[in-house]
Amino acid sequence: MHRGSALLLRLAGQLRSHTYICICCGSEGDRRVCPSCLRTSGITESSAIKTAPAGPPIKQLHYCADYHIRTTTDTGPAIEDSPLAVALRRFKYCDDRRAGRALADLMARQTRALELEFDAVVPVPLHSNKLKQRGFNQSAWLAKAVARSAGSRFFPCGLVRRLSGKPQCGLNGCERRMNLSRAFRAQRDFSIYLRVLLVDDVITTGTTLKQAGRALFEAGATDIHCAVLLNASGPSQAHETASP
């Protein structure tokens, strides 16, 4: 066998033998999130990123999976957090960076299937106090992977969160709108980056995305789409999900 061909075969064998530990269930396999946990979360090989209508100035909302899943227990039907939701909480609140990288890769892969072109990708920002406390912005992790995959400009500080406000968790829709009124401001002129993808980790009532989208629109963006990892806004929502 030719020496070069033998080397390629050895390299291919090493790649095939590389194993990952699933961030959700801990099983070994060739992916960071195993097929079983993806299926349980509503993602299959053939499934595309989901699209839902959104109010102005946001053109459309795109999301990878639902935050909650329907299950059956001994006492009957139930609603519980999906494996991806559990992994996301570990990333956000337990500083599990391995889970963060896996979720970012998953979102980049799903978003790439949209085949939409964007001039800029912008994450929903944390307030400086929250950023200092957590040490990172989970939405920026996701947005950076999406921008790299799409070949778009990434503006990690495209928006700034001016108001800290109360935590969104536990607030109803009206309280969330009041809490986030005029909370965001654009850090740059987006009139030269008209097509913007706004990225967040979870959508619950949509208030955060609408307020952030308004700030982008006022800064010149005209074609604004939103992409989130998990959607907790549907009828199956069992409780308010923590957001930034």
CATH number at residue 123: 3.40.50
pLDDT at 241: 35
pLDDT at 162: 85
Residue 242 domain-assigned (yes or no): no
Residue 162 domain-assigned (yes or no): yes
Residue 128 pairs in a beta bridge with: none
Residue 171 domain-assigned (yes or no): yes
Domain that holds residue 97: 46-231
DSSP per-residue string spanning 6-19: HHHHHHHHHHHH--
Residue 32 domain-assigned (yes or no): no
Residue 90 domain-assigned (yes or no): yes
Residue 37 domain-assigned (yes or no): no
pLDDT at 77: 83
Residue 206 domain-assigned (yes or no): yes
pLDDT at 3: 52
pLDDT at 169: 52
For the chain of 244 residues, list the mean pLDDT of each consecutive stretch of 10: 55 62 93 94 84 90 95 82 97 96 96 90 95 96 97 96 62 50 89 96 93 96 96 57 40
Alpha-carbon gap, residue 170 to 165, rounded angstroms? 13
Number of domains the chain contains? 1
* 183-219 residue pLDDT tens: 899 999 999 999 999 999 999 989 999 999 999 999 9
pLDDT at 13: 53
Residue 69 domain-assigned (yes or no): yes
* N- to C-terminal Cα separation, the chain: 57
pLDDT at 71: 83
